[in-house]
């Protein structure tokens, strides 16, 4: 890599409001109508070429089964091999470009997304992933723009990290890409993550095979088009849709596989990791594994908590995007002294929440992502209904007639280690355990030990000592800790995001820590005055 431009830290992309009468709202409505009435054919993109092949699979809206948004191509083994080959062919050319030249592609993409492409990606995210306008805006517009700009800034800083040079000797670190291609496997729930996982390694000089979620094909299609419009050279990122297991099998058995950039469930990450372990003898290097996975995030309230702030955090954190954020709090630890009044106000507030088609801007929630998610989440609701130790405080209604709709649910449990308090449900279902006020420390310890995950958590307290105790007790329990705020909504550059334990490798997306994983530093010592006599002075 060559010397790089000096960059100041970028600012976070401002979040538009979509208030009635705003120009952005009018533009978004137009784009929603256009995309809903113009089905796309989403190809594979291999070596910059669009590949459409039979059979195509339908792309549908989770909130309206009758809407067909288009169809996407499905990769066969030959396409996966070609995608790998294209990535390997593109490596040398991509690496001949300086970091600044590569960065320019992604900065251009950020500018396009901030301007003319904004509503294209927002509408795709609303239609195919059932996000409301504000949820799409903070994801497919703002967070993705931030990832693109902040990665360039952090990449520049990383290159400035150089060793000492002494008189007559110059030492340098050359930030090489990994010795092969990177496999990016992305989840349905954040368009920004889908965009970040292939582009962060590419910025650092790697070439990529990208397999998006089958539930987010439309936004993946538009991200790929955006990157091409921004000047991404052919073959740097190769997009393949299709059977996740078969594609992964081909990719992970290729000797040139050098890194996995994954976000998704813990089970899938563990399966991929196992496969990589089995294939180790085939590879020409030890592959990097960056995997962010499941969570069982919590809100913990101390008796001194502000009840209004607490209630708002529970509603926004637990139910926005139908509880399908990896950081969404789905277990609550509440003191008995606050519980009765909080229960009453939560019931009143939640009764006002509208669930439905995100194109209706008065809806606070859309549908859950698909049939399997609907079954899994309603399965947990059935479990709670059958279990006499659980009390349904509100919610539990669901219908998959028109779309996959589940109303927000809150379940009080007697057992703090109940499955509802430890397993990832990934839907609008929150469990609450009520502790005795004088057992605060013990309750914190229960929280620390309940779930195998370690992603996000929040403490609500006005008492400074209570905050301190929570921070100390929960130090290893979460990768992102919030004080008097909901545990969702991490902002790139402000709260580097990632969890430990079974929540992932904690490489903090959109931060310098993550970029470090996509380079293999080479140290170069250059001697301007090498010794010309092999004898040492001590021998004289």
Strands 453-454 and 500-501: antiparallel
Task: Give the interface segment with ligand NAD, choosing from 7-15, 34-42, 123-131, 498-506 (CB under 6 A).
Answer: 498-506
Mark 325-364 with x for binding to ligand NAD (rule: CB under 6 A) and - for no binding: -x--------------------------------------
Instruction: State the residue for tokens 């889908």.
Output: 194
CB nearest ligand NAD: which residue? 264
Bridge partners (DSSP) of residue 299 are: 332, 458
Between the alpha carbon of residue 84 and those of residues 47, 52, 243, 435, the distances in Å are: 9, 18, 16, 54
The two tokens of residue 467 are 């905050």
For residues 357 and 38, what is the distance between their CA atoms, to the nearest angstrom?
A: 18
Residue closer to ligand NAD (CB basis): 322 or 398: 322
Q: Does 426 bind ligand NAD (CB under 6 A)?
A: yes
Task: Give the interface segment with ligand NAD, choosing from 42-50, 68-76, 182-190, 357-365 (CB under 6 A).
Answer: 182-190
Q: Does 271 bind ligand NAD (CB under 6 A)?
A: yes
Q: In a 3-state reduction of DSSP, which class is residue 65?
A: strand
Contacts of 391 (CB under 8 A, 6+ apart): 411, 412
Active site (annotated) includes residue 142: no
- State which of residues 139, 143, 146, 292 lies at the interface with ligand NAD (CB under 6 A): 292
At residue 366, φ and ψ (nearest 5 deg) are -105, -145
Q: Does 499 bind ligand NAD (CB under 6 A)?
A: yes
- State which of residues 190, 405, 440, 482 lies at the interface with ligand NAD (CB under 6 A): 190
Between the alpha carbon of residue 339 and those of residues 211, 316, 410, 486, the distances in Å are: 45, 18, 13, 18
Per the CB < 8 A criterion, the answer to whether 44 and 83 are in contact is: yes
H or E element: which one contains 201?
Answer: helix 191-203
Q: Does 132 bind ligand NAD (CB under 6 A)?
A: no
Question: Which residue of the set 292, 320, 343, 423 is catalytic?
Answer: 292
Residue closer to ligand NAD (CB basis): 242 or 416: 242
Least separation in angstroms between residue 72's CB and ligand NAD is 13
Interface residues for ligand NAD in 223-252 (CB under 6 A)?
244-245, 248
Interface residues for ligand NAD in 435-474 (CB under 6 A)?
455
CA angle 274, 88, 106 (to 5 degrees): 95
Site size with ligand NAD, rule: CB under 6 A: 32
Q: Does 122 bind ligand NAD (CB under 6 A)?
A: no
Interface residues for ligand NAD in 14-73 (CB under 6 A)?
none
Least separation in angstroms between residue 374's CB and ligand NAD is 13
Active site (annotated) includes residue 292: yes
Between the alpha carbon of residue 75 and those of residues 42, 258, 400, the distances in Å are: 12, 21, 30
Question: Which residue of the set 142, 326, 390, 447 is catalytic?
Answer: 326
Contacts of 37 (CB under 8 A, 6+ apart): none
Indicate the DSSP class of residue 503.
Answer: T
- State which of residues 32, 185, 301, 516 lies at the interface with ligand NAD (CB under 6 A): 185
Indicate the DSSP class of residue 355.
Answer: B
For residues 372 and 368, what is the distance between their CA atoms, to the nearest angstrom?
A: 10
Least separation in angstroms between residue 401's CB and ligand NAD is 23
Bridge partners (DSSP) of residue 289 are: 260
Contact residues for ligand NAD, defined by CB under 6 A: 185-190, 193, 211-214, 244-245, 248, 263-265, 268, 271-272, 292-295, 326, 424, 426, 455, 498-499, 503-504
Catalytic site positions: 292, 326
């Amino acid at each position: 890599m060559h010397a790089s431009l000096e960059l100041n830290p970028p600012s976070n992309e401002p979040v538009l409001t979509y208030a009635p009468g705003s120009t952005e709202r009018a533009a978004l409505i137009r784009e929603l109508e256009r995309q809903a009435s113009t089905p796309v054919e989403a190809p594979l993109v291999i070596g910059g070429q669009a590949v459409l092949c039979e059979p195509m699979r339908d792309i549908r809206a989770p909130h309206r089964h009758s809407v067909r948004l288009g169809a996407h191509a499905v990769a066969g083994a030959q396409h996966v091999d070609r995608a790998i080959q294209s990535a390997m062919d593109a490596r040398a050319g991509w690496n001949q470009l300086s970091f600044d030249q590569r960065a320019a592609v992604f900065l251009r993409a950020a500018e396009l997304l901030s301007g003319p492409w904004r509503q294209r990606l927002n509408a795709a995210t609303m239609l195919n992933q059932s996000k409301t306008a504000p949820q799409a805006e903070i994801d497919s517009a703002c967070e993705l723009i931030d990832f693109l700009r902040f990665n360039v800034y952090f990449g520049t800083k990383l290159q400035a990290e150089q060793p000492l040079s002494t008189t007559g000797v110059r030492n340098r670190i050359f930030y090489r890409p990994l010795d092969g291609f990177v496999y990016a496997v992305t989840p349905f729930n954040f368009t920004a993550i889908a965009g970040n996982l292939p582009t962060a390694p590419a910025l650092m000089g790697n070439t990529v095979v990208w397999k998006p979620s089958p539930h987010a094909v439309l936004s993946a299609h538009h991200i790929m088009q955006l990157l091409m419009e921004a000047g991404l050279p052919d073959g740097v990122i190769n997009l393949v849709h299709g059977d996740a297991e078969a594609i992964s099998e081909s990719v992970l058995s290729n000797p040139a596989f050098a890194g996995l950039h994954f976000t998704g469930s813990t089970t899938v990450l563990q399966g991929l990791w196992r496969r990589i372990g089995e294939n180790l003898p085939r590879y020409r290097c030890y592959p990097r594994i960056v995997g962010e996975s499941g969570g069982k995030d919590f809100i913990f309230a101390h008796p001194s908590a502000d009840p209004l702030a607490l209630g708002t955090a529970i509603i926004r954190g637990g139910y926005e995007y139908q509880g399908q954020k990896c950081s969404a709090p789905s277990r609550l630890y509440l003191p008995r002294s606050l519980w009765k009044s909080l229960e009453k106000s939560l019931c009143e507030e939640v009764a006002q929440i509208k669930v439905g088609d995100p194109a209706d801007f008065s809806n606070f929630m859309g549908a859950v992502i698909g049939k399997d998610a609907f079954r899994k989440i309603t399965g947990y609701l059935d479990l709670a209904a059958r279990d006499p130790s659980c009390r349904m405080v509100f919610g539990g209604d669901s219908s998959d007639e028109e779309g996959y709709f589940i109303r927000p649910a809150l379940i009080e449990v007697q057992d703090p280690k109940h499955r509802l308090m430890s397993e990832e449900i990934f839907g609008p279902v929150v469990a609450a355990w009520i502790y005795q006020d004088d057992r605060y420390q013990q309750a914190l310890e229960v929280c620390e030990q309940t779930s195998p995950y370690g992603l996000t958590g929040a403490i609500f307290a006005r008492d400074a000592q209570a905050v301190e105790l929570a921070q100390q007790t929960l130090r290893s329990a979460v990768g992102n800790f919030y004080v008097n705020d909901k545990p969702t909504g991490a902002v790139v550059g402000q709260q580097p995001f990632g969890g430990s334990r079974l929540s992932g490798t904690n490489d903090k997306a959109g931060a310098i820590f993550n970029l470090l994983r996509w380079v293999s530093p080479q140290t170069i010592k250059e001697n301007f005055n090498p010794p010309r006599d092999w004898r040492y002075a001590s021998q004289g």
